[in-house]
């Protein structure tokens, strides 16, 4: 048995691979802009799962959901049909009732999209703001990106 927590095994920058499929593109074979939001969401979901908290577990066991409150996206270059992409997540800030992520979408190391996503911590039954449970809050704060600015 080890005292290691799931967050101890999660890198400060988490990354998942994804591929661009026909359904992700417009008629020209370029990724439709809204699909990037889905790629970013999947990466955040997998990041939370890697911490040991699946979205459904957070909702059922802790009465907690995270909802996107604000999103800034910079579309730098297009992704195209069949591209292999890496979608990254790092935690920029963690407060008692909100978290801010920095995310990127890369193709062969080339930056295609960067985003900042702020999520609110909500009571699952009422969708009212609530504090992140202390154990999760402590775990998240250990993962805040070094040098992240408090904006």
Evaluate whether 11 touches 70 at the Cβ level (below 8 Å): no
Residue 92: Cβ within 10 Å count: 19
User: Cα(6)–Cα(50) distance, rounded to whole angstroms?
Assistant: 7
> Of all residues in the chain, what percent carry a pLDDT higher than 70?
89
Evaluate whether 44 touches 105 at the Cβ level (below 8 Å): no
pLDDT bin (cut points 50, 70, 90) of residue 1 is very low
pLDDT digits (tens, 9 = 90+) for 18-42: 999 999 999 999 999 999 999 999 9
pLDDT digits (tens, 9 = 90+) for 61-105: 889 999 999 999 999 999 999 999 999 999 999 999 999 999 999
Which of 8, 26, 70, 82 is the catalytic position? 26
Is the pLDDT higher at 145 or at 6?
145
pLDDT bin (cut points 50, 70, 90) of residue 149 is low
Determine whether 74 is an active site residue: no
Q: Domain extents for the chain? A: 11-141
pLDDT bin (cut points 50, 70, 90) of residue 10 is low
pTM recorded for the entire structure: 0.87
Beta-bridge mates of residue 90: 102
Per DSSP, the three-state class of 33 is: helix
Beta-bridge mates of residue 18: 85
User: Cα(13)–Cα(29) distance, rounded to whole angstroms?
Assistant: 29
User: Which strand ranges, in their side-by-side order, compose the sheet holding 14-19?
Assistant: 14-19, 84-94, 98-107, 110-123, 64-75
CATH entry 3.10.129.10 includes domain 11-141: yes
């Amino acid at each position: 048995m080890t005292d290691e927590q799931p967050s101890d095994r999660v890198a400060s920058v988490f990354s998942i691979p994804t591929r661009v499929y026909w359904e992700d593109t417009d008629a020209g074979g370029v990724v439709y802009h809204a699909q990037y939001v889905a790629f970013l969401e999947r990466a955040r979901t997998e990041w939370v799962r890697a911490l040991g908290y699946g979205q459904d577990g957070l909702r059922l066991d802790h009465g907690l959901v995270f909802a996107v409150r604000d999103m800034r996206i910079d579309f730098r270059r297009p992704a195209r049909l069949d591209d292999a992409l890496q979608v990254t997540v790092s935690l920029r800030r963690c407060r008692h009732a909100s978290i801010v992520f920095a995310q990127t979408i890369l193709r062969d190391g080339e930056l295609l999209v960067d985003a900042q996503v702020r999520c609110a911590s909500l009571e699952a039954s009422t969708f009212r703001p609530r504090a992140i449970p202390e154990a999760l809050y402590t775990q998240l704060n250990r993962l805040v990106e070094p040098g992240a600015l408090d904006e």
